[in-house]
Structure 1
Amino acid sequence: MNRNMTIGGHVVGASLALALMGGASSALAAPITFFGEDTSTAGVLGTNSAQARTDFLANLTGVGNEDFESFTSGSSSPLNLSFPGSSGSLSATLTGTGVIAGSPAVGRFATSGTKYLEVSTGSFVIDFLDPVSAFGFNGIDIGDFVTNQMVLKLTNTLGDTTELTVPHSLGIGNFAQATLFFGFYDLAQSFTSIEFTNAGGGDLFAFDDMVIGDAEQVTPTPVPEPATLALLGLGLLGLGARRRLFSRSA
């Protein structure tokens, strides 16, 4: 006989608990993203962008920041990057259309220091020698001439791919000095490469202050909602088993 529990006036069975757990498992497979945008600034990282970055970093421990200050202006890809990891350095290589710029240009500037990565329309790729589970960046002057939003193509350690669209505005003024922050972390998988793509427009963008983290550096607090649902599901299963045990004893 199936036995149900009543919680808050609703009948809840063990099958629902299993569904919650299954849903939690599926939800954990998707990266958790952070985004903030300022369509016009005075040449500094905007308030919304900075807040999104702060929210993202609150979920990480012991990560570093690539501000491109160690590179010579005019350096082009491949660029070798290094970040602190949980047990040593995390190495990465950036290839594609990027070049290190050392002074402001039309709509573009560094969000820290004086240097930044300037990229033309097309794509660039960051390959990680050590798999990462978190990545974030400041973007500058994105969304004025391009006709589509930027897409990040993530490749995990099994070779499977996930695409994340950066939901930035289009049609931003050429001199608006717009900024954004976009980042993600993933509790279920790690990635070996990230490809940036943006179609159309013949535009130039700037990137600065990139952050990566390995799985051990992702320390979200509080526990994300899907995990909370999984705990609820386990609790419901436990209560159901206890009721069945007492029923048989009676």
Structure 2
Amino acid sequence: MKQRCLAALLLAGSAMSAQAAPIIFFGENQTDPFAIGADPAAAQTSFLSNLTGVGTEDFEGFSIPTIAPLDILFAGSTGNITATMTGGGQIANTTGAGRFNTSAGGSQWWEISGLFSINFDTAISAFGFFGTDIGDFDGQITVALLDINNVVTNLVIDNSINGINGANLFWGFIDVNNAYTSISFGNTAAGTDFFGFDDFTIGDRQQIRIPTVPEPATLAMFGLAICGLVTSRRQKK
């Protein structure tokens, strides 16, 4: 019985660890250059299906070449959320170098080679984007998420390395148990590989349809309660 109780507690802890991490949405097109492709489109559809009332920035309302810092307004659950982009980068609209627009009827995107960050005046729990021309010169995207407790979660986007010119991907995350005040993007081949970013979508916790995952303490107490109930029944018998 002790072994079963221990197994139950370990299982609860394992479930907590697996569910506590952000849920990642990813799709890549390395076969059809200068097109969104089926996999990135499906990843975006899946990402958006878990959100409600969110807005998407397509960069069409900015002049060429607007550079950072850049303020973008998104619709939140209780009002606008201001996202301030800092670091390098600029609005672009020239497709010859491999980057391209992913918005229906649009022509512009955010273009950069090095590091840039996005700071939010209201903590967010969901973020997604299309990326173009990523990885054809060894570059891989790194992401650092700064949460409301000043804890950083570092992620690496699994884009192909030395892929085709004009490739496209969608990447996004949803975190039902945490909120973030800043996202920093890096490039493992900064200065050599240039990336295009388009169709930013963000959401706060109230805009996520996915139920909240139980906190670690709740899971542990649930496991202990099960063990206690089983032990009590055995003693009565």
TM-score per shorter chain, which class? 0.7 to 0.9
Preserved CA contact (<8 Å) 1:136 1:211: yes
The amino acid that maps onto 1:191 is Y
Q: Does 1:219 align with 2:212?
A: no
Preserved CA contact (<8 Å) 1:40 1:179: no
Specify the alignment match of 2:175 in structure 1: 186
Q: Does 1:92 align with 2:101?
A: no
Specify the alignment match of 1:206 in structure 2: 196
Equivalent residues in 2 for 1:67-86, closer than 5 Å: 67-86=58-77
Residues in 2 aligned to 1:220 and 1:185: alpha-carbon distance in whole angstroms: 9
Q: State the secondary structure of the residue aligned to 2:56.
A: coil
Q: Does 1:24 align with 2:31?
A: no
Percent identity over the alignment?
A: 42
Residues in 1 aligned to 2:177 and 2:15: alpha-carbon distance in whole angstroms: 11
| Equivalent position to 1:158, from 149, 153, 167 | 149
The amino acid that maps onto 2:198 is D
The offset of 1:237, in angstroms, is 5.7
Q: State the secondary structure of the residue aligned to 1:122.
A: coil
Residues in 1 aligned to 2:59 and 2:174: alpha-carbon distance in whole angstroms: 22
The amino acid that maps onto 1:65 is T
Q: Deviations over 1:47-91 (max 9, x none)?
A: 111111111112212111110111112111111011111111111
Q: TM-score, normalised by structure 1?
A: 0.83
- Compared with structure 1, are the counterparts of its residues 34 and 162 closer, same or farther at alpha carbon in structure 2 (3 Å cutoff)? same
Specify the alignment match of 1:133 in structure 2: 125
- Compared with structure 1, are the counterparts of its residues 17 and 30 closer, same or farther at alpha carbon in structure 2 (3 Å cutoff)? same
The offset of 1:239, in angstroms, is 5.4
The amino acid that maps onto 2:210 is P
Q: Deviations over 1:121-154 (max 9, x none)?
A: 2111101111111111100001111x34210011
Structure 2 unaligned regions, length at least 5: none
Q: State the secondary structure of the residue aligned to 1:118.
A: strand
Residues in 2 aligned to 1:178 and 1:45: alpha-carbon distance in whole angstroms: 8
Residues in 2 aligned to 1:43 and 1:33: alpha-carbon distance in whole angstroms: 24
Structure 1 unaligned regions, length at least 5: 5-11
Residues in 1 aligned to 2:9 and 2:164: alpha-carbon distance in whole angstroms: 50
The offset of 1:220, in angstroms, is 2.3
Residues in 2 aligned to 1:160 and 1:213: alpha-carbon distance in whole angstroms: 20
Residues in 1 aligned to 2:187 and 2:124: alpha-carbon distance in whole angstroms: 23
- Compared with structure 1, are the counterparts of its residues 130 and 84 closer, same or farther at alpha carbon in structure 2 (3 Å cutoff)? same
- Structure 1 or 2, whichever has the larger Rg, is 1
| Equivalent position to 1:143, from 111, 116, 135 | 135
Specify the alignment match of 1:51 in structure 2: 42
Residues in 2 aligned to 1:192 and 1:244: alpha-carbon distance in whole angstroms: 45
Residues in 2 aligned to 1:194 and 1:48: alpha-carbon distance in whole angstroms: 24
Residues in 2 aligned to 1:105 and 1:216: alpha-carbon distance in whole angstroms: 40
Residues in 2 aligned to 1:191 and 1:155: alpha-carbon distance in whole angstroms: 5
Preserved CA contact (<8 Å) 1:62 1:85: yes
- Compared with structure 1, are the counterparts of its residues 240 and 160 closer, same or farther at alpha carbon in structure 2 (3 Å cutoff)? closer
Aligned residues: 232
The offset of 1:203, in angstroms, is 2.4
Preserved CA contact (<8 Å) 1:60 1:213: yes
Residues in 1 aligned to 2:150 and 2:89: alpha-carbon distance in whole angstroms: 25
The amino acid that maps onto 1:114 is S
Query: What is the CA RMSD across the aligned residues, in angstroms?
Result: 2.5
